[in-house]
Amino acid sequence: MSSILTNAGATSALQMLRSLDNQMFGAEREVATGLRIEQASDNAAYWSIATTMRSDNGALSAVHDALGLGAAKVETAYEGIAATTDILAAFMAKVVSAQQDGIDKNKIQEELEQLKQQIVSISNSASFAGQNWLRSDMQGQASEAGAKTSVVSSFNRSEDGTVSVGTIDVDLSKLVLFKNGGGGILQKEPDPDLGYGLGTIGGLLGFSTSGYGDVPGPVFDQPFTITKFDVVTVAFSVGTFNDTFVITKTVVDQALGGQIGYGFDGDIESTADWAKVLLQATFLNKAPPDILFAAQGGAPNIFFRATLPLAAELITVQPPVHTRTLPPEGIDILDIDVTDPDIDFPTITLVLDEMQQKVISAGAYLGSLRSRIAMQEDFGNSLADSLDRGIGRLVDANMSEASSRLKALQVQQQLATQSLSIANSDARNILSLFQ
């Protein structure tokens, strides 16, 4: 049926043309942006995943920058430690030379003063981004939070969507050359009365006792450290038999070396540690014929018990004697003076060697940090590339396919335009019927 009021063919052709126009717009946008999914309306699930991954990639980029900053700090500290190692070697050589007869110690001391100033200069200038890992304001011991810093190393998103930032911890107590209050690698130890020093040796100093049967032992009253230079000798008797037991760093290491996390550092941190050390000194380190008593019990009570053959004898424990091959506070490299007539060269040489080994250990520690940061940087780059590829698989357009589809739509649009033109000519055809 033909009608001048309703042109069904033109309406149908117009609908097709509108549909093709919309498809053309989508295809042109896909070709122009290179994205198959540009906004949430294209595919809400894939758009959400891709947007989250882009955000994570931005965070990874920030982590990469932080790793670069951390690497620069490690490099700066390492260069300072490496230079200090060389200076300490020269310092040791000068001290050894000063022990020769007939040498001018004043001249050697002048050279040592220059080396001291150079070490201080290095420690002061090894700073990057406002942080100096070789000269710290740390107060207290390595167990305190102030003795550590960290480098941002990773950005993590868990399965439930929560995010966290991973860090690489840096133990500054292994690196600092000079610390306020003492205790740096090249310094004296802090005053024992201010914290983690030798203190009362767990209650042992000043302790003495006598009695039959179980005799109370010295209680543990605060953490303390036995260094390689400390020797605590305790004389005791059981009946007519006399003996001694000795507590040294070796004894502490023997007693506690099997514990998880024990660093062979001579630290006695609890009553349980103290009981193990006493047992090691009085029983385990004695040959069977020499054993007179052993430390028994544990937290909170420690006591001495005679062996069975001597169970009825009187036990007497004398006050301990503490000796140390170094001054109680240690030696500061800045105080070494080879012109001092009372200088103890063997001790000075020993201390310098200890300092040098600690500085070498600090260099090795920084080297391991540098390697780990480099590996984390490589992994971060690979992870960022992987995220980019994953995002691309989700939302990127296949340009060859998009180009072909756009050309096809252009042809369809031209044909639809012709169809609409033909449909619009129906009214003119009707007019010809009345001529």
Segment among 184-198, 202-216, 368-382, 400-414 with least mean pLDDT: 184-198
Residue 96: is its pLDDT beyond 50?
A: yes
pLDDT of residue 139: 41
- Residue at 240: amino acid letter: T
CB 389, CB 53: distance < 8 Å: no
Give the model's confidence band at 202: pLDDT under 50 very low, under 70 low, under 90 confident, else very high. low
pLDDT in tens, 310-352: 888 999 988 888 776 666 567 889 889 999 887 888 888 888 9
Structure confidence at residue 201 (pLDDT): 63
Q: Please work out, in degrees rounded to the nearest 5, the angle formed at the alpha carbon of residue 268 by the alpha carbons of 262 and 273.
A: 80
pLDDT-based confidence at 267, cuts 50/70/90?
confident
Mean pLDDT for 425-432 is 68
pLDDT at 116 over 90: yes
- In whole angstroms, give the CA distance from residue 316 to residue 210: 4
What average pLDDT score do residues 260-283 get?
80
Phi/psi for 238 (5° steps) reads -125, 105
* Per-residue pLDDT reduced to its tens digit, 385-412: 888 888 877 877 767 777 777 777 777 8
Percent of the chain at pLDDT > 90 equals 18
Task: Show Cβ contacts of residue 63 under 8 Å, excluding neighbours closer than 6 positions.
Answer: 152, 153, 154, 155, 165, 380
Can you tell me the distance from the alpha carbon of 104 to that of 132, in angstroms, rounded to the nearest whole number?
37
Residues 150-167, mean pLDDT to the nearest whole number: 83
d(Cα 107, Cα 210) in Å, to the nearest integer? 58
Give the residue with greater pLDDT, 253 vs 409.
Answer: 253
How much is the average pLDDT of 172-178? 87
Complete domains list, the chain, with CATH = 47-191+330-388 (1.20.1330.10), 201-324 (2.60.40)
Q: How confident is the model at residue 74 (pLDDT cuts 50, 70, 90)?
A: very high
Give the pLDDT band (50/70/90) at residue 260: low
DSSP state of 234: E
Tell how far CA 291 is from the center of its chain. 46
The identity of residue 429, as a single letter, is: N
The torsion angles phi and psi of 80, rounded to 5 degrees, stand at: -65, -40
**Phi then psi dihedrals of residue 356, to 5 deg:** -65, -40
Of 376, 330, 314, 425, the closest CA to residue 10 belongs to 425
Q: What is the mean pLDDT of residues 174-193?
A: 75
Distance from C-alpha of 93 to C-alpha of 338, rounded to nearest angstrom: 12
Return the minimum-mean-pLDDT range out of 5-14, 81-90, 129-138, 291-300: 5-14
Global pTM value? 0.58
Mean pLDDT on 31-49: 78
Per-residue pLDDT at 118: 94
Average pLDDT over residues 229-258: 88
pLDDT band with cut points at 50, 70 and 90 for residue 72: very high
Q: How far apart are CA 206 and CA 232, in angstroms?
A: 12
As a whole number of angstroms, the distance between CA 349 and CA 113 comes to 17
- The answer to whether residue 80 scores a pLDDT higher than 80 is yes
Q: Which residue has the tokens 């630290």?
A: 267
Tokens of 9: 């063919």
Compare 405 and 80 and report the one with higher pLDDT.
80
| CA atoms of 321 and 77, how far apart (whole Å) | 42
- Give pLDDT, residue 362: 92
- The confidence score (pLDDT) of residue 367 equals 92
Give the per-residue pLDDT at 427: 64
Phi first, then psi: give them for residue 131, nearest 5 degrees: -115, 135
Instruction: State whether the Cα torsion 291-297-301-307 is positive or negative.
Output: negative
